[in-house]
Amino acid sequence: MFSRDISAFIITKMPVTTSKGNFGPREVELSNYVKMPILGLGTSHSGGYSQEAVVYALKNCNYRLIDTAKRYGCEEFLQCAIHLSGVPRENIFLTSKLWCTDYGASTTREAFYGSLNRLGVDYLDLFMLHWPHVPSSCLDKYKTLEETWRELELLYDRGMCRAIGVSNYDVDDLERLMDNASVTPHVNQVEFHPFQNPMELREFCNENRIQMEGYCPLGKGKLLDEKAVLRVAKRCGRTPAQILVRWSIQNKIITIPKSTQMKRVKENCEVFDFQLSDDEMNILNYLHDGRKIVDASNIQEKIDSCLPDGYKLKLANCEPKMTYCNRC
């Protein structure tokens, strides 16, 4: 049974306004003083991939954070999209993730350079471990995770990535990693939306200067028809999606909504000219019940399977139709 205790979520000190203006900040500073955009574009293979949407996000909507992963199967497509956008590489905060089957002292570095090659870049701004799990064939899970993190530390020390982090780690996972780490993760990317607002994890990350990043800010669409969200949206004269993205940003969570539709990409980024009042934030905070949209119950099965990277694109018969540039 999920706890319904929301006392920790109640906001008592925040400017109360929904008037138009410039309500930032648009960047957060990581513990190593690297600045990371607070809003970005997700590119998970669920629901397909659109090169046009990525180019539009970069060129027309001023997105400067792109989140991807080897597992999504679209790194090579992003190389073309970034080039076609005309936005210089140094102006894009590019992040990717290491898939669990590549964990280990002898395989991590090769997989990292594989991501660089597919993306057509010579460094990453952020490189993360995708899950705190290893293949069942690994004899020592925690030794493998420790060795893998050490490889990320070496890549960071050598300047191959500006920051390193983890994804889908809870407090116990972070504590175990930090016990043997030289570098504390700069970022922890987790599912985050009003249904899933993990205060214990947020407090732990805040205490240890680990920046939280949230995926599925719209709950894969399940929150868009929620009565409380609709009520706040009507009050503010905004769309439900904009309310949800703004709520995450005001919680100081780096937020990476995903869409393959250009109009949605534009809608999701128009959130810096208003802000939610204390009351409006609390209305959404009350929705927390610990519910997750992403089903991780079969993650071990997926890790042990022979499914190829980007398999959801292929199974859905929606591999992207590419407009190739000269570099590709």
- Going by the annotation, the residues of the binding site for substrate are 130
Q: Are 42 and 65 in contact (CB under 8 A)?
A: no
Active-site annotation holder among 56, 63, 72, 169 = 72
Does the annotation mark 156 as catalytic? no
Residue ranges for the known binding site are 130
The Cα 186–Cα 205 span in angstroms is 9
- DSSP letter (8 states) at residue 216: -
Residue 29: phi and psi, rounded to 5, are: -100, 120
**Cβ atoms of residues 131 and 304 within 8 Å:** no
**In b/e form, how buried is each residue of 218-240, taking b as 16+ CB within 10 angstroms?**
bbbeebbebebbeebbeebebbb
Beta strands 65-67; 93-98: pairing state = parallel
Separation of alpha carbons 193 and 220, rounded Å: 10
DSSP string, 146-188: HHHHHHHHHHHHTTSBS-EEEES--HHHHHHHHHT-SS--SEE
Residue 59 has, within 13 A of its CA and on its CB side, a CA count of: 13
Catalytically active residues, by annotation: 72
